[in-house]
A = this chain, B = another copy of it.
Amino acid sequence: MNIDSVDFFYASMPEVTLEADGSQDALLVRVTAGGHIGWGECEASPLTSIAAFVTPRSHGVCQPVADSVLGERIDSPADILRIARNVGRNSMDLLQAGHTWSGIEIALWDLLGKAKEQPVWQLLGYERTYAKLPYASMLMGDTPQGTLDRARLARANGFRAVKFGWGSYGTGTAADDADHVAAAREGLGDDAQLLIDAGQIWGDDVEAAAARLEALEKAHATWLEEPFLPHAYVAHSQLAGRARTVGIAGGEGAHTVHMATNLIDYGGVRFIQVDAARIGGIGASKAVADHAVQRGVTYVNHTFTSHLALSASMQPYAGLADHRICEYPVEPKPVALAISSNHILLDENGEVRAPDAPGLGIDVDLAGLVPYLRHVEISIDHERVYTSPDVPHRVSEVV
């Protein structure tokens, strides 16, 4: 079969705030081929990613993503890899192309799984799935007491691993940060995993990050995430060399496979966190997972948005028993939940699994998304080059 269409659905909350909460908008991708439908999601900046799909060609290796995708053959995972290579080559100088392609790639796996009646993890070569321990991602409180209260709430909600980050963390003194970390540990009790996310706050300042290590190790934090900019491998490696019990984590900013493998090979991270909706999709993520296994580094998904994105991000390591921890969007905005009619829920053990249903196993609910959809039009020289799909019409088509 061949790719007949690629449609983008841009959804957002009525008001998007300055919170570090990536679930406030979404760019959903629908691909059709041979009468099958696949769904994916790009992370983030919907308008920019749409533009990268339809932009006029700049030259031979700065082509719109559409030109490497539409009409292409799609019968097997090898076809996805072939198209990925073409996008990489033909859109070499189009920086945003990686993010746009990621959502399309995810949709192609979903489509292929549905066509072959297999879950994506099986198409990736895994024979079974393993339960993952979801961690709740939360913003650091405004005060240590606030952080402590949130930690208690997360435990009460059944989470055995909790991540705190952003907010004031890293912006004040190391002593302030130590108070937050100690409060988080107190609120969690001794038997839960504590993860801390610095959100790139120290740029490449190794000393600033190193000043936080003692408090993190005293609180038995599992990892310190994104202390630095994603390409700052020298800084990552120096910090990793000075840490004893706490692992350095990172990788969500990777938009190529090499960016993530470099963070392992040169940055010395102990946890590699991959966002399938940025790195080039599920195939690219699986390549990183393979490399992580080889290097004895733990693979973790990065997901802060919908359960479609969650399923996509779980597939690449669904069959890895020893890679246990999983980022779980615990307080997503309504738009992120509205994307699908089913969700990946915690089981009686407080654990989650990649779905067994064909494809990604997530039922996209376009009708439920209607209140959040935004209509985009782009014209060049007064000729329309992009118009958002007509949704009521399309919904009836889909149903």
Within the assembled complex, what's the spacing in Å between the Cα atoms of A63 and B98? 18
Is A24 an interface residue when CB atoms closer than 8 A count as contact?
yes
Within the assembled complex, what's the spacing in Å between the Cα atoms of A18 and B91? 12
Is A58 an interface residue when CB atoms closer than 8 A count as contact?
yes
Q: Which of A188-196, A243-251, A347-355, A379-387 contacts B (4 or more CB under 8 A)?
A: A379-387
Contact B52 A18 (CB under 8 A): no
Is A370 an interface residue when CB atoms closer than 8 A count as contact?
no
**Inter-chain contacts of A375 with B (CB < 8 A):** 379-382
* With known contacts A18-B59, A19-B60, A262-B233, A378–B47 Cβ distance under 8 A: yes
Is A199 an interface residue when CB atoms closer than 8 A count as contact?
yes
Shortest distance between the CB of A60 and any CB in chain B (Å): 4
Contacting residues of chain A (50-72) with chain B, CB-CB under 8 angstroms: 50-52, 54-63
Number of copies of this protein chain within its complex: 2
Contact A24 B95 (CB under 8 A): no
**Inter-chain contacts of A262 with B (CB < 8 A):** 231, 233-234, 262, 266
Q: Which of A38-46, A74-82, A320-328 contacts B (4 or more CB under 8 A)?
A: A38-46
Is A206 an interface residue when CB atoms closer than 8 A count as contact?
no
Is A122 an interface residue when CB atoms closer than 8 A count as contact?
no
A13-41 contact mask (Cβ, 8 Å, vs B): 1 or 0: 00011111110110000000000000000
**Inter-chain contacts of A278 with B (CB < 8 A):** 93, 95
* With known contacts A262-B231, A380-B374, A95–B59 Cβ distance under 8 A: no
Is A334 an interface residue when CB atoms closer than 8 A count as contact?
no
* Band of interface residues on A: 35 or more
Contact of A20 among B12, B20, B43, B60 (CB under 8 A): B60
Contact A55 B61 (CB under 8 A): no
Contact A61 B374 (CB under 8 A): no
Given A44-B62, A46-B58, A48-B55, 7 more pairs with CB closer than 8 A:
A22-B59, A47-B385, A50-B51, A52-B96, A92-B200, A376-B380, A377-B378
**18 examples of A-B residue contacts, CB within 8 angstroms:** A16-B58, A16-B59, A17-B60, A18-B57, A19-B60, A45-B55, A47-B56, A88-B229, A89-B200, A95-B278, A204-B258, A231-B259, A233-B262, A234-B262, A375-B379, A375-B380, A377-B377, A377-B379
Which residues of A line the B interface, CB within 8 A?
12, 16-22, 24-25, 43-48, 50-52, 54-63, 85, 88-89, 92-96, 98-99, 199-200, 203-204, 229, 231-234, 253, 255-256, 258-259, 261-262, 265-266, 278, 374-382, 385
